[in-house]
């Protein structure tokens, strides 16, 4: 099972569709991954029935993109927290059980923090957020020690590096380890893009350089072109008022979106 082309963001498809077919009504993408991937629906059912063999079977012989998709979907299943905690607490749990519970902790922490600006997050929210991410980090250290090539374990460690404010250098180090095993893993690239964005301590120069590097290196027809759109949106968010709108209307930005589309969703 491959990850959807608009993995966690329909930004590129929406923008290039609008550019290429302005007279055609734009149809919003269906945000439910189960619509495209029946494995997601089966995972939800297995978690709801607390059927660990069924959960594990869905992760057998799966691509890292598919593994990532199902892991984050499992993290969205708040009702599975206790079940996954118990699996991770078993004697000698495998990397899958530990990784799935670590993702539950990450998602729990982020739900408490919310997507609000740092200045709008209370001290209590921030403390709970950090506690959940530190617990997840400890578990993910186990995963990547057990299996140094566990791509999704390293992907989540890029996310914990972001939330724990470990800095750009450490997040990039973790990504580089991951890229040695899966050089075009889009979810991890999207995670590092956030770290390189101005709102998390990066710069627009670092962010754009990284996304162009990833898109240029990815195979033609791969979904990684979405990174170009996401970087431009993050750049616009870093600007104030009219400057943000002016930036997104700049001809160079539109041309870069077309070029990214030609290399990915239009290929």
Answer whether 0.85 is exceeded by the pTM: yes
CB 257 within 8 A of CB 19: yes
Q: E strand or H helix at 164, and its extent?
A: none
Residue 262 has pLDDT above 90, yes or no: yes
Query: What letter would DSSP give residue 121?
Result: S
Q: What is the mean pLDDT of the chain?
A: 90
Would you state the pLDDT for residue 1? 38
Dihedral of CA atoms 22, 28, 29, 32 in degrees, nearest 10, equals: 180
Would you state the pLDDT for residue 16? 46
User: Measured between alpha carbons, how far is 32 from 112 in angstroms, rounded to an integer?
Assistant: 22
pLDDT digits (tens, 9 = 90+) for 21-67: 455 667 788 889 899 899 999 999 999 999 999 999 999 999 999 99
CB 183 within 8 A of CB 217: yes
pLDDT digits (tens, 9 = 90+) for 98-144: 999 999 999 999 999 988 888 888 999 999 999 999 999 999 999 99
DSSP code string of 180-191: TT-TT-HHHHHH
pLDDT digits (tens, 9 = 90+) for 208-223: 999 999 999 999 999 9
Residue 194 has pLDDT above 80, yes or no: yes
Would you state the pLDDT for residue 28? 82
Would you state the pLDDT for residue 24? 60
Copy the structure tokens of residue 92.
Answer: 């000698």
Q: How would you class 130 by CB atoms within 10 Å of its CB: exposed for 0-12, middle for 13-18, buried for 19 or more?
A: middle
Copy the structure tokens of residue 220.
Answer: 């033609």
Would you state the pLDDT for residue 23? 55
Would you state the pLDDT for residue 9? 45
Copy the structure tokens of residue 258.
Answer: 């077309």
């Amino acid at each position: 099972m491959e990850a959807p082309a608009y993995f966690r963001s329909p930004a590129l498809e929406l923008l290039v569709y609008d550019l290429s077919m302005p007279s055609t009504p734009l149809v919003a993408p269906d945000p439910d991954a189960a619509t495209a991937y029946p494995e997601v629906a089966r995972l939800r059912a297995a978690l709801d029935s607390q059927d660990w063999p069924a959960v594990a079977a869905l992760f057998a012989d799966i691509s890292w993109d598919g593994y990532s998709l199902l892991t984050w979907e499992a993290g969205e299943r708040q009702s599975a927290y206790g079940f996954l905690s118990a699996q991770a607490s078993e004697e000698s749990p495998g990397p899958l059980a530990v990784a799935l519970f670590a993702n539950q902790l990450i998602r729990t922490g982020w739900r408490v923090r919310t997507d609000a600006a740092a200045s709008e997050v209370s001290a209590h929210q921030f403390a709970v957020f950090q506690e959940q991410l530190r617990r997840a980090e400890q578990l993910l250290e186990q995963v990547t020690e057990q299996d140094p090539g566990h791509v999704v374990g390293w992907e989540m460690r890029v996310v914990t590096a972001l939330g724990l404010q470990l800095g750009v250098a450490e997040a990039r180090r973790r990504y580089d380890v991951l890229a040695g095993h899966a050089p075009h893993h889009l979810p991890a690239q999207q995670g590092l893009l956030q770290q390189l964005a101005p709102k998390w301590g990066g710069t627009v120069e670092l962010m754009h350089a990284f996304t162009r590097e990833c898109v240029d290196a990815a195979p033609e027809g791969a979904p990684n072109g979405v990174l170009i759109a996401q970087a431009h949106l993050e750049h616009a968010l870093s600007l104030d008022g009219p400057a943000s709108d002016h930036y997104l209307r700049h001809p160079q930005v539109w041309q870069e979106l077309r070029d990214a589309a030609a290399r990915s969703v239009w290929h």
